[in-house]
Amino acid sequence: DFVQTGRDKRYNLTCLLRGPGEAVVTSSYMTANSGSPIPIEYLPAENSLSSRVRLLILFQGRPTNTIAVGDPLTFRLEAQDGYNYATDIFATNVIARDPYSGRSVQLIDRYGCPVDNYVFPGLDRSREGDGLEARFNAFKIPESNFLVFEATVRTCREGCTPAY
């Protein structure tokens, strides 16, 4: 599948997290609209479990739920408040998917490498050193009104082997 970028449509975004241990962290639903951004209601988490890593989508340094395609965003995986990793974290299988149609786009592969740097670059250590982040421009899956980000995250005691 392809994604729409830049001059296409507007959509809204909220985030939540999932999974313990090797965790799958997931954003919640975001909606697409061709007009002005419309805030969406927070939907209840499904099968949520405790996790020490959270997935954030930031616009101008702040978590956001209303954005437009083409907006500069930051995808961040970080330790939750009050928890410091004595280990490193590594993310694989980052996808963007429509939770209703099942259509998805792989952004980071099973080795931790970006699939298309133009759409979504590789993850680097965050400036704070407590997680991973990537700067990207907002996009959407064509003919989709909803989008969810998801990543598989694991910790490594002696530092994670970098993706090549």
In a 13 Å sphere around the CA of 32, the CA atoms on its Cβ side amount to: 22
Would you state the pLDDT for residue 113?
93
Q: Which domains does the chain have, with CATH numbers?
A: 10-156 (2.60.40.4100)
Residue 47, pLDDT score = 35
pLDDT tens, residue by residue, 44-78: 444 333 457 888 888 898 887 777 788 899 999 88
Identify the sign of the CA torsion 35, 40, 45, 46: negative
Q: What is the pLDDT of residue 18?
A: 44
Strands (DSSP E) contained in 13-120 are: 23-26, 30-33, 53-59, 62-63, 66-68, 72-79, 88-97, 104-108
Angle at 95 between CA 91 and CA 100, to 5 degrees: 140
- Give the pLDDT means over successive 10-residue stretches in the chain (164 positions): 60 49 57 44 39 81 80 85 62 88 92 93 84 89 80 77 68
CA distances (Å), origin 114, targets 6, 93, 110, 123: 19, 10, 10, 8
Kindly report the pTM of this predicted structure: 0.70
Q: What's residue 130's pLDDT?
A: 74
